[in-house]
Structure 1
Amino acid sequence: MELVLHIIEGIFFIPFLIWIIYFLVFSIGYRIPRNQKFKQAVHQHRYLVIFPAYKEDAVIVESIRSFRKQDYPHHLYEIVVVADSMQEDTNAALQHLGATVLVPTYAHRSKAAALNLAITHTADQPFDAVVILDADNLVYPDFLEQINRVFDSGCKAVQAHRIAKNDNTDTAYLDGISEEINNSIFRQGHVNLGLPAALTGSGMLFEINWFKQVMPKISSMGEDKELEYHLLLEGIFTTYLEDVYVLDEKVQNRRDLSNQRKRWIAAQIDTFLMAFSGLSTIFKTRNWAMLDKLVQWSIPPRIILLGFVPIWVFILYILAPILMYKWLVLYLLFMLSLGLAVPNRFYTKRTLVSFLKLPFIFIAILRSFMGIKSGRSTFVHTPHGEKKEDYSN
């Protein structure tokens, strides 16, 4: 029995050690000062700006109205809204604001399908790059000007800094902190250490010809992860813009959080398996950026690590106390990495109080794993624009 426990403990310890060291390295990388400046753009490029929208009547008009305030020549960008299952009054309001409204008829709904529809509709227009935003996203008036400066410098893939638009519930507040940890570790920390940033689903820019070639190959519910995979295959570096903000609405209750994570977890597993199938090629071609991403895609949600390790330590305390201590050290390193990754502005009393809700978030994420199969093939919609209260069930 004791031998079996030692074997199980050893099997668990190796991946947890890799994952937590990974977090720690890039959390430290985030704290390394880096002066990233881009020269003033020589050319003003033309942009296709796509807003995929499914039942987003509550937020999409505000998002388009906000985007129209850009300090960038209006004739150099076109806004396309893929208006899936939206009201006629909403579509009319969007057209009045100057957006091109596409009403899809595809049978299999996904964000990838919406992006492909927009690309097909504008195929004959001379755009230089495509910008992808979610229906609830708001940006500042200098967004395109800043993006243009980076694109003009030669960057073919860009990820802006997505931040929380709302913190009206504890779930939304914690979701905002979680996004900032992702920004610190998977984006700024990576770029500071010379690796490409991770994509995050919106606030993204791609060179138009590359995007037109790759997007038709993508049909899954995890289009951002597949786009990352193709960028890494071709050795294209994704630049992260920490000072260019995209305001994104955070989920406001645990049921929506569970549904959202179900889709994310399913997409991560599928992309990991796709990348892992080419592991030998990764080593042969020395594609270290892809290897780094393979490790990242193998990591379960952080809340699972936060909840599982204490439970496992308690089990070891009962059955084999001698094995417990290295796990305690590992957990302390994990907490240190998260502490480094959380931006300083979140070191407040509210954050401390909100952390008391983490056990309920842990349960919600566990529920997500039970729906992974449907998350692979079924479009999961996260409602926006509604004020909701937290509930426990």
Structure 2
Amino acid sequence: MAANFLSIGDTVLFLIILLPCIYLFVFAWAAARKENKYPQTAHKHRYAILIPIGTDICEQEYPQELYDLYHYETLSETVHALDPEKYEMAVILGQGSSVPPFLLSSINEVYDAEITAIQLHHIIEPRPTRKLRYQAITEEVNQTIFRQGHIQMGLSSGCSSMDMAVELRWLQENLKSPKSNLAHKLLQQNIFIEYLSQVSVSSPTAHTLSHTVSRRKALSTALEAAIIGQWSYADKLFQRLIPSWKTLLIIIAVLAVATTSYNLFAAVKWWMLLLWLLFTISLAIPDYLIEDKKKRRNPKPVKI
């Protein structure tokens, strides 16, 4: 009797944990598909680039009279001080950001296609320590799955409310304070968030995806959002309800070891699920981080 109860509980638990693993795999696989490209446009829009005090960026390959640089201490105050008649879009960058010279040109192509919210690709650079390399891998896995993978499946990109471009009028109406969750408001209003993986913004620290919605609220709101067709918002709320891929790795590994100790046959499915999740994560790690790791392991010999 006890053995049957244990077997049923093991199967139910496996099916529950299998669901988020399938979710992660689908988006990691989708991220490998060919990206959409926006056509070049002759129409040049006006931009305000907002960067923290003490940070500077390179000159842009864009008409200088069509963009201005503003240093901010409090982002919301600087945003509300901008003239919406002068600028159409605000580009928000974080501390220590380094951007390519084609940043505005790439954003302009997307904005001219009537996309009003754009998330940029953030990378950690330099990565001199093991901790920073681990953070870089973690952030890239999240960006591959929750940004690139989602875009390829027709859903909005995940958003960190930093290293992004947003239409200025909307930003002034919705950025009420430093605690305002821009990602939540964009999705709640059914505004599509594009992701530009080819436009990399580097900084020495990690940026996290914004998750300020409580699990209780996510549970009560997700079904309603799906029913009224807010698919990206419902997806965002679902993400809040499932464990992170790092937590899943720990849970599945512990269950695999524990199950092996009393039922080797039942443990097979857990070990297979663990391998599948590791394969999913490997799909989401970009080549440049793998190449960087190889270079560190095999440094070039120094000629004397």
**What TM-score results when the alignment is normalised by the length of structure 1?**
0.67
Check if 1:138 corresponds to 2:98: yes
Structure 2 contact 84–168 (Cα < 8 Å) conserved: no
Question: 1 or 2, which has the higher helix percentage?
Answer: 1
Q: How does 1:96-107 map to 2 (within 5 A)?
A: none
Sequence identity, in percent?
A: 26
SS at match of 1:270: coil
Deviations 1:4-58 (A, max 9, x none): 6556545643442121111110111011223x222222322221222245xxxxx
| Shift, 1:80, TM fit | 2.3
- For 1:278, what is the secondary structure of its paired residue? helix
CA distance in 2 between counterparts of 1:70 and 1:352 reads: 31
**1:177-234, Cα deviation, whole Å (9 max, x unpaired):** 2222122211111111211111134220111121122211x653xx5xx322222222
Aligned equivalent of 2:142: 182
Inter-partner Cα distance in structure 1 for 2:296 and 2:211: 30
Corresponding residue of 1:31: 32
Give the counterpart letter for 1:193 in structure 2.
M
User: Offset of 1:250 from its aligned partner?
Assistant: 3.4
Task: Give the length in aligned residue pairs.
Answer: 296
Normalised TM-score (structure 2): 0.85
Alignment match of 1:237 (pick from 163, 174, 192): 192
What SS is found at the alignment partner of 1:347? helix
The match for 1:193 is: 153
Amino acid at match of 2:202: L
Return the alpha-carbon distance in structure 2 between the equivalents of residues 341 and 23 of structure 1: 10
CA contact (8 A) 1:160 1:246 kept: yes
How far the C-alpha of 1:136 sits from its partner, in A, is: 1.1
Letter in 1 for 2:235: D
Report the residue type matching 2:251 in the other structure.
F
Shift in CA distance, 171/282, structure 1 to aligned 2, threshold 3 Å: same
Q: Which residue of 2 aligns with 1:227?
A: 182
* Alignment check: 8 A CA contact 2:27 2:146 kept: yes
Alpha-carbon distance change, 269 to 38 in structure 1, aligned in 2, over 3 angstroms: closer
Equivalent residues of 1:166, 1:250 under 8 A apart: no
Please report how far the alpha carbon of residue 329 of structure 1 lies from its aligned counterpart in structure 2 after TM superposition: 1.8
Tell which deviates more after alignment, 118-127 or 267-276: 267-276
Name which of 116, 140, 144 aligns with 1:156: 116
Calculate the aligned-residue CA RMSD, in Å: 2.8
Corresponding letter in the other structure for 1:308: I
Find the counterpart in structure 2 of residue 339 from structure 1.
282
In 2, the alpha carbon distance for the partners of 1:5 and 1:352 equals 48
State the alpha-carbon separation in 2 of the partners of residues 278 and 319 from structure 1: 41
272, 277, 293: which one pairs with 1:350? 293
Distance 1:333 1:353 in 2: 27
What amino acid is aligned across from residue 219 of structure 2 in structure 1?
A: F
Once the two structures are TM-superposed, the CA of residue 246 in structure 1 deviates from its matched residue by 0.7
Match of 2:62 among 60, 68, 72: 72
Task: Tell me the SS of whatever aligns to 1:71.
Answer: coil
Of the two structures, which has the highest relative contact order with CA contacts closer than 8 Å and spacing of 6 or more? 1
Deviation (angstroms), 1:75 = 3.1
Distance 1:158 1:272, change over 3 A: farther
Can you list the C-alpha shifts for 1:243-279, whole angstroms capped at 9, x where unaligned?
A: 111112136xxxxxxxx87xx7xx6263544443323
Q: What SS is found at the alignment partner of 1:279?
A: helix
1:229 and 1:275 in contact (8 A); partners too: no
Distance 1:268-1:2 versus aligned 2 partners, 3 A rule:
farther
